[in-house]
Chains A and B, each alone.
Chain A
Amino acid sequence: MGYNIVVCAKQVPDTKRITGEAMKEDGTVNRAALPAIYNPEDLNALETALQIRDAHGGTVTVLTMGPPNACVILRDSMFRGADRGVLVTDRRAAASDTLATSYILSQAVRKLNPDIALCGRQAIDGDTAQVGPQMAEKLDMTLVTYLEELIDLKDREITVRRNVGNGWEEVTAQLPVLATVMETANHPRPHAAKRIMKYKKARSKLEMEKELPEGADIDAEAETLAAKGLLIDQWTLDDIDADLEWCGMSGSPTKVNRIQSIVLAGGEYHEFDPTEDGCEKLVHELISDHTIG
């Protein structure tokens, strides 16, 4: 018995350490210029998943979408206790907005067919909190946002406490359920030394192609890794039966019109006259830099 649990996780640029150089001219982010970290609330989702598995049995699969390097957070998940990692990687998925991202991820989740899917409430690079609810809609899974405490799970019925901003509610739902998890839900467990020893060798095929000498038999190596439970599954859009029209740029209804960097005042001081004219100039200043208006 036990539950098939999928955690959707994202590797994100550490937005606390961003600089102007991290922005490309077209307004998108040059992720290579930033330290990449495990999205914080996705770690809370992983911890919730591990607690469910430890109490009820089953498996925890961590799913991520991104470049080959995103395998770093899949290994990180394994160091903490995840059973399996899946990477969805495909150039045709680039420039996906939240709608296209939720479509692609939902196709991958569909293939994994979980009883419970968990995501962090939101990712720190966009702070949109849209992908979780949009995946639930596409998968027709019951959505439970803002999970703060897992109260009970039995007979395929889950009861949780949700944080609804000005209070909380306790709700029960039948599986399958997709929940988004708050940072207040738990404290993510650290890496386990024994698991690091084992899973530091986990690799995806793309990583093996990069690391192994030319002419190496990748498929044979992959089979060896798979037998030890160390192969990170790597899926393209074809592997998850994604309709390309709904992926990447063409699947994204929203477009960037423009991007402005915030210029910090940095000690600059302007004084305005205590007159109607002075007040108008001050208000104009505040409106033009989007502080108000």
Chain B
Amino acid sequence: MIQVNKQGDVWIFAEQEEGKLSDVPLELLSKARELADALGVSVGAMLLGQGVKDLADTLIAHGADKVYIVEDEKLKAYQTTPYTAAIQTLIEDHQPQICLFGATPLGRDLAPTVASRMKCGLTADCTDLQIGTHEEKKDGTVYENLMYQIRPAFGGNIIATIVNPERWPQMATVREGVMPMSEADSSRSGKVIACQAGLNGFPLPLTIHARHREERKVNLKASRIIVCGGAGVGSKENFKVIWDLAHCLGGQAAGSRAAVDLGFIDHDHQVGQTGTTVRPALYVAVGISGAVQHRAGMQESAKIVAINNDPDADIFQVAHYGIVGDLNQVVPMLIKAIRGGMSVKTAHETPEATHG
């Protein structure tokens, strides 16, 4: 572990495969930016691999102030131990206060190994992170400005807020697609720091014989938030409002059978009895009347929001929240409210200068 270091930066692990970043590190950066601004420190990204330094610009544009690059032939294809060794060196050299990883298969292999090496705490699969105060009930000690690691537990029956008061860095893995990604700002500037891997003579434990990667298909089942448009959206062009809303919620765009049949969106995105059955945390139905076949495919969602201009539409029968109105007016207002609502939470104490 490292000592508690209130000046330490907020770090993310920039997961890449074959020189390509997925959305996950960019989502992490947007959350790291919020946390770092609340704490008045910088955002750092750990970028490990071989021939990956060109990715630093993307990381900076999405909110990194510093990119620590470790390049080595042994980091080209991911293996647990060389990545752990390189990250251990980075953490010990630079003493970040927070390290975030994506809760991807790779992140869930690497982060626990790093935490075990550092003898620090780790919370898996967080759906939210905030800065807050913790009082230890046992002895009344109060810890200021800890990272609240918020996650569902017990099969989603409870929400637990976990803290790591003393054995730092504070580490968490964060679910994919939960944190909204901020837009790239190519005018941002940041520092690129080349670091030594220190892997000379390091034995690689695995021989990787064969690898197969599938084209990333739409995985509605794994989506925590789904925004689904129906025939009421009107046209393929107008379906952009569905994509916009999904993007600003960090969710997945989808369509009803009618929307798919009308060619507004691809069949892979279809929700309903004949498409995919989904149970996300949030389901937003836009311009969907709510035929029984559609309801069967989504009514077990934890929270359902319906937007429709027909107050008698069946979709309102299964909705928890409803807005009766013209989706072309309501959706843009909703996007604006979401952007506002998300930033309000951390806006206090945000030093403007660190936005760069």
Contact = CB atoms under 8 A, between A and B. Distances in A.
Given A167-B211, A257-B161, A272-B323, A129 B108 contact: yes
A168 B212 contact: yes
B333 A253 contact: no
Interface stretch (B229-237, B268-276, B287-295, B335-343): B335-343
Contact of A254 (B106, B122, B249, B326): B122
Contacts of B112: 98, 128-134, 137
Interface string B206-217: 111111111010
Contacts of B322: 269-272
Nearest to A97: B121
B325 interface: yes
Interface in B80-133: 80-81, 84, 104-106, 108-109, 111-113, 115-117, 119-125, 127-128, 132
A125 interface: yes
B28 to A, nearest CB: 16
Interface stretch (B53-61, B66-74, B152-160, B256-264): B152-160
Interface string B318-334: 01111111100110011
Nearest to A280: B337
B134 A274 contact: no
From DSSP, what is the main secondary structure of chain A's interface residues? Answer: mixed
A291 B333 contact: no
Contact of A99 (B116, B127, B325): B116
Nearest to A159: B209
Interface residues of A, number: 79
Given A173-B205, A254-B164, A280-B341, A145 B116 contact: no
Contacts of B81: 143
A165 B104 contact: yes
Instruction: Identify the interface centre among B80, B116, B325, B337: most chain A CB within 10 Å of its CB.
Output: B116
Contacts of A286: 282, 303, 305, 321
A283 B334 contact: yes
Contacts of B352: none
A274 B161 contact: no
Interface in A114-164: 124-134, 136-138, 142-146, 159, 163-164
A290 interface: yes
Contacts, number: 242
A144 B206 contact: yes
B302 interface: yes
A167 B124 contact: no
Contact of A293 (B111, B128, B316, B336): B128
A292 B338 contact: yes
B345 interface: yes
B13 interface: no
A165 to B, nearest CB: 4
B105 A99 contact: no
B64 interface: no
Interface stretch (A68-76, A190-198, A219-227, A260-268): A260-268
A170 B249 CA distance: 36
Instruction: Identify the interface centre among B132, B136, B213: most chain A CB within 10 Å of its CB.
Output: B213
Contacts of A278: 323
B150 interface: yes
A142 B150 contact: no
B321 A274 contact: no
Interface in B296-330: 302-303, 305, 316, 319-326, 329-330
A147 to B, nearest CB: 12
A132 to B, nearest CB: 8
A134 B320 contact: no
A32 interface: no
A256 interface: yes
15 contacts: A130-B115, A132-B112, A133-B80, A138-B116, A163-B105, A167-B211, A173-B205, A174-B205, A257-B162, A274-B324, A276-B337, A282-B321, A282-B337, A292-B342, A293-B128
Interface of B: 1, 80-81, 84, 104-106, 108-109, 111-113, 115-117, 119-125, 127-128, 132, 134, 136-137, 148-150, 152-167, 205-214, 216, 225, 249-250, 281-282, 302-303, 305, 316, 319-326, 329-330, 333-334, 336-338, 340-342, 345
